[in-house]
Chain A
Amino acid sequence: MVTAVRNFVSEIGSMVVFMTSSLRLLMSPPNRWSEILKHMEFIGNKSVGIISLTSLFTGLALSLQIYLGFKIINAVNLVGPTVALGVTRELGPVLTGLIVAARAGGAMAARLGTMRVNEQIDALDVMGVNTRQYLIGPRIFAAVICMPLLTAVFDFVAMVGSYILVVFLIELDQAIFLEKIRQTVQVKHIMEGLFKSAVFGLVFGLVCTYRGFYTTGGAKGVGEATNQGVVTSMVLVIILDYFLTNLIRLFYLALGIQ
């Protein structure tokens, strides 16, 4: 038990060192802009389709459920703002985090794992290339940049879904829908979600690159690293979401923002 805790703590420690050293190395030459762009294209651009699709249906389904609930208490005018707050602060970042962790995080772990077991990482090492600077930093950095952008896409498309359901399918008043959202949702709510999503990007970027980078045991090891990376990332996104929400509340409290 004691050893398990100690191993856990030392693992967390080495992951944090792994992350900070990789990101700090990005500042030193040679610059890795082309690598960062390449990974942003993979993590960001290539996720837009799946994020749009899932967020559209999330908006539709959530709005329908909330509508059915609010009808009982005659509060259907509040469907719009309720969905908007729920999506921007919780569902947007969390679902984007889960989907991108599975898609891009899994691919990163598998790619690095393959490079490790095929000696490609050793080849880089002996070629005098700093592998953390070349392989890890750009991936984590790209994940942190792309997550808020993807979450913004998620938020927007989910609200389009909500609009479609409320205005076209159950035919409530369009002006009320928009006006109530405008009254309730503030920029800080959206920013809250985007901030969370950047943290999620950091988390799955770190966990998946770390697992992939330290893969052992051949092709089977690559599968395990990928699996572990994705599962750990997903669990962490959901757990961290709760604590981040509280942290943001505390932050507001300290600054006197209600």
Chain B
Amino acid sequence: MEAAIQVQDVKKSFDGKDFVLKGLSLEVPKESLTAIIGFSGTGKSVLLKHILGLYQPTYGKVKVLGTDLSTLDPNELTKFRCNFGVLFQSAALFDDMSVLENVSFPLIEHRRSLSPGQVKEIAERKLQMVGLDPKHFHKLPSQISGGMQKRTGLARALALDPEILVYDEPTTGLDPILTEMVDNLILETHKNNKGTTSIMVSHDLQAAFRIADFVAMLDAGQVLLFGKPEDFYKSEIELVKRFVSKGMKHA
């Protein structure tokens, strides 16, 4: 199975003493939807930032689509990030731009040959793809609901047709109904965009096991278990058992 992302024995320390990632290795299969789970503070976000090239590993290597990120200079790295679409927990919309302008922004930045009309057309198509009603297109982010903000953020992440979609805790802090909506949106988006690899950090086990093809559980800066959802129910590892049963109780 070909890997979209290879994290090879990555160790990361911010202060030179304590390591947050302690020799973490992970291969995310191409075109899969992979969930990364684990208790809070185990380094999930730090791992994502390594994959996005925002942090450099202290030791070890990160390869994305076959490219070793450490071989890129800062400008090349900036360009390379166009391969990613990222949905932030807070949606991170530009609050001084309308919904449509938010989705148009990456297109204006990176597809300079497109005419304003073409940009608008693509942006509107992406917004419709994530199910946002056209009557909201010209509103500011502050004027729409949290769910619609998430949809807009996803449309913006999809604007450049990225190879890899990244979600960091997309449902944390949302109510159960919205959580389910966002999870379904992630699953549909993954299915509708053939060829994309999706990575989702979550501490919602139910959702992770329901929608993901593969799950990686992190503990103390290492991958404790990587496998298909059913591998987790069968696992004999004490921590996995505890985590799985906790998750079940929540549901």
Contacts and interface: CB of A to CB of B under 8 A. Distances in A.
B94 A120 contact: yes
User: Which 6 A-B pairs have CB atoms at the shortest separation, nearest pair first?
Assistant: A119-B92, A123-B92, A128-B81, A128-B82, A126-B86, A119-B88
B112 interface: yes
A128 B78 contact: yes
A170 to B, nearest CB: 49
B88 A127 contact: no
A214 to B, nearest CB: 15
A30 interface: yes
Interface in A123-145: 123, 125-130
A21 to B, nearest CB: 10
Interface of A: 30, 114, 118-120, 122-123, 125-130
A6 to B, nearest CB: 17
B17 interface: no
B139 to A, nearest CB: 17
Contacts of B105: 127
Contacts of B81: 125-128
Contact of B90 (A119, A125, A128): A119
B84 A126 contact: yes
A118 B90 contact: yes
Interface in B34-89: 52, 54, 75, 78-82, 84, 86, 88-89
Contacts of B90: 118-119
Given A128-B78, A128-B82, A129-B78, 18 more contacts: A30-B112, A118-B95, A119-B90, A122-B54, A123-B88, A123-B94, A125-B81, A126-B54, A126-B81, A126-B86, A127-B105, A127-B106, A128-B79, A128-B81, A128-B106, A128-B109, A128-B110, A130-B78
A30 B80 CA distance: 16
Range, interface on chain B: 20 to 34
Interface centre among B84, B92, B112, B166 (most CB of A within 10 A): B92
Contacts of B92: 118-120, 122-123
Interface in B136-166: 166
A118 B93 CA distance: 8
Nearest to A123: B92
Contacts of B166: 126
Nearest to B82: A128
A133 B205 CA distance: 40
A118 B82 CA distance: 21
A125 B88 CA distance: 12
Interface centre among A119, A122, A128 (most CB of B within 10 A): A128
Contacts of A123: 86, 88, 92-94
A123 B81 CA distance: 11
Contacts of B78: 128-130
